[in-house]
Structure 1
Amino acid sequence: MNTEERKAIYNQAKEWVLEAGKNIRAKIDDPLIIDTKSNPNDLVTTMDKETEAYFVGKINQIFPEHHIIGEEGYGDKLTSLDGTVWIIDPIDGTMNFVHQKRNFAISVGIYHDGIGEIGLIYDVMEDNLYHAKRTEGAYKNENKLAPLAQNVRFDEAIIGLNHYWLCENRLVDELVMQQFVRKIRGSRTYGSAALEFAYVAEGIINGYLTMSLAPWDIAAGIVIVNEVGGVTTDIDGATLDMLEKNSVLTCNQGLQQEIIQFIEKGRK
């Protein structure tokens, strides 16, 4: 994807994200039909479905040759990331949306032949748009984000965590994760993976670690974190599979190695 193509797609995507957010704010107090998916805490609402359908309709109209992966199933069933692929979470943080009416985001990552080209994370109720185009830096609204601090020590770091994984975790012993929490300076849980990525990019937290996320949770955030010098891998340091669920670690490169080594040592 060349610079002009990326710019044109980005401009259109930004317009749609802001419009979708405006619609959500206008309807934030309307009655919702709330269903569950994989478990009683995995919520989906009429607004999730309406928002994803909005994006799918617009993309199919303007970019019919593009492909779509969406959380609510309105997109395509893909076996590769060949071509241009939009990876969409219409409301990341649905539980927050339902219970708090805040702390949720629209997340749109656009990839071309497997490379993250565009990332947009829109904190709808705060009206903050985190956005990036590959090789062009990352921004919060109109303000360019600074490169991540590279000298943060492990015991000085504030890490975003999904605390559920401290209680039940098939990848890492829960005692290891409890030791991890004791070792770092502090942990935070925001209830939206997209916002956690945005906060890493902004420097509000130093990293984000969780044991199972889908591509739509992370696609936009990876692009944004990349543009401030961060790195995103699984908890073993391996490249993520953007068609499957992954464990996820995003932070600066030095901290990444310390965290991976700590977890690996705890496994032995």
Structure 2
Amino acid sequence: MTIYEFARRIILEAGQNIKDKLKLELTIETKSNPNDLVTNMDKETEQFLADKINQTYPDHRIIGEEGHGSDIDTLEGVIWIIDPIDGTLNFVHQQQNFAISIGIFKDGEKYAGFVYDVMNNNLYHAIAGKGAYLNDRQLATLQSTELKRSIISMNPNWLTKDWTKDVYSPIVKDARSARSYGSAALDFVFVATGIIDSYITLRLHPWDFAGGMIIAEETGAIVSNQLGEKLHPLKSNSILVANPELHHEILNVYLMNYKDELENLHQGMFSSR
């Protein structure tokens, strides 16, 4: 069994565990702020995945949202980057619109990405260089769009803050429409499938984007930070993902008008992982 096949098996198992326990009472805690939630299910799912990986591949390293790998600062060897429940607010309030995300890297190179939309039983997955799939159906290469004919996804919070609304309001105004799904991993795969045309956000951690980035890039999407720079798998960053034509338009027509402000934001927000 390859690493890819093993990862596919355990992410499906982890999703089934979540579904089996949905009716049980959750233990809910807060982290950085009252809306930054973590549940016992987040922790149990990460531990389940980590245990499976450690038992089968004891020399692999793991970075997880809920604490695994906080001391990892190099890309040597095989690294699994895990978000056990991406979209915890959705999980708590809706019991849908959340995903398990896994990105796997070998010596700093992309190997495989997985995003499992648990409640819809949709597994998005990709091996780098071999295309992306939704379950057993290969995803098509993305078609180019221009902003005025595009649907974008963006957290509306960025449109309410004095220090970001001037940057993002023109993009929303000129787009065909805007959405907010509440799960970064799902936003990435929605770009990959053409459900939306671009996802734009600030402050994502590696576990938020690692799996989805690999899948989206396999369909021809361009993934960068909002300064047009390549993402580092171990560092937090801002995000701009879109088909190539739209990525170029949003970056050069809109975001570069605020290059100095975005550079200052990056210096303040992303000085470390």
Q: Structures share a fold, TM > 0.5? A: yes
Q: Deviations over 1:190-215 (max 9, x none)?
A: 00000000100011000100011000
Structure 2 Cα separation of the partners of residues 23 and 197 of structure 1? 24
String of CA shifts for 1:10-40, please: whole Å, max 9, x gaps: 1000110000000100111110100000100
Cα distance in 2 for residues equivalent to 1:89 and 1:102: 16
In structure 2, distance between residues paired with 1:266 and 1:234: 14
In the alignment, what sits opposite 1:32?
Answer: 26
Corresponding residue for residue 96 of structure 2: 102
Alignment of 1:37-186 (within 5 A): 37-75=31-69, 77-150=71-144, 152-168=145-161, 170=163, 173-186=164-177
SS at 1:87 equivalent: strand
Aligned amino acid, residue 227 of structure 2: D
What residue number does 1:264 align with? 256
Confirm or deny that 1:13 pairs with 2:7: yes
CA contact 2:227–2:259 (8 Å) conserved in 1:
no
- Whether the aligned pair in 2 keeps the contact of 1:161 and 1:189 (CA below 8 Å) is yes
**9 and 230 in structure 1: CA distance in 2 versus 1, 3 angstrom threshold:** same
Distance in 1, Cα, partners of 2:47 & 2:176: 42
The answer on whether the counterparts of 1:169 and 1:211 sit within 8 Å (CA) in structure 2 is no
Task: Letter of the 1:82 partner, please give it.
Answer: E
- Partners of 1:47 and 1:110 lie apart in 2 by 22
The one-letter code matched in structure 1 to 2:97 is: N
Give the TM-score normalised by structure 2. Answer: 0.92
* Cα distance in structure 1, aligned partners of 2:236 and 2:160: 19
Corresponding residue of 2:212: 221
Using the aligned pairs only, state the percent identity: 48
Q: Could you tell me how far apart the structure 1 residues matched to 2:214 and 2:188 are?
A: 10
Whole-Å separation in 1 of the counterparts to 2:22 and 2:97: 13
CA distance in 1, matches of 2:247, 2:58: 39
Aligned length: 259
Matches of 1:267 and 1:66 in 2, distance apart? 38
Indicate yes or no: 2:202 matched with 1:211. yes
**Does the 8 A contact of 2:202 with 2:238 survive in 1?**
yes
Answer whether contact 1:79 1:243 (CA < 8 A) is retained: yes
Q: Summarize the alignment of residues 189-204 of structure 1 with structure 2, pairs less than 5 Å apart.
A: 189-204=180-195
Give the CA deviation at 1:176. Answer: 2.9
Tell me how far apart the structure 2 counterparts of residues 122 and 30 of structure 1 sit (CA, whole Å): 21
Give the secondary-structure state (helix, strand or coil) at the position aligned to 1:103: coil
Structure 1, unmatched stretches of 5+, are 1-6
Partner deviation per Cα, 1:205-226 (whole Å, 9 max, x = no partner)? 0010001100000000111011
Report how far residue 140 of structure 1 moved: 0.4
Whole-Å separation in 2 of the counterparts to 1:55 and 1:247 = 27
Q: Is the 8 A contact 2:152 2:177 kept in 1?
A: yes
